Amino acid sequence: MTTVRELIRALQNNNELDDVIAFELWSVDDVMERAAEREIEVTREEAEWVLESMERHHDCIYGMNWQALDNAIDSVVF
């Protein structure tokens, strides 16, 4: 998993005029909000585990999307 600080440092190493592909950022707060929408309680530590699970197990064809997030929540909590 990458911290915001590490991401900023990596981006600063690029020329500001370079083209890049932007990607979706998922945070602990995103995990906790999605879990709450599904009426599932998660701790911040569990939310970190969810992000780690998403990173480790995501499918490059489908990417990291809402279904991947739901699957990761389910794998950590249940």
Confidence band for 6, pLDDT divided at 50, 70 and 90: confident
What's the domain count of the chain? 1
pLDDT, one tens digit per residue, over 17-68 is: 887 776 778 999 999 999 999 999 999 999 999 999 998 988 889 888 999 9
Please count the other Cβ atoms lying within 10 Å of the Cβ belonging to residue 68: 17
Give the distance, in angstroms, between the CA of residue 19 and the centroid of all CA atoms in the same chain.
23
Q: Give the range of the structural domain holding residue 54, as residue numbers without chain letter.
A: 4-77
- DSSP per-residue letters across 12-51: HTS-TTS---------HHHHHHHHHHTT----HHHHHHHH
The model carries a pTM of: 0.78
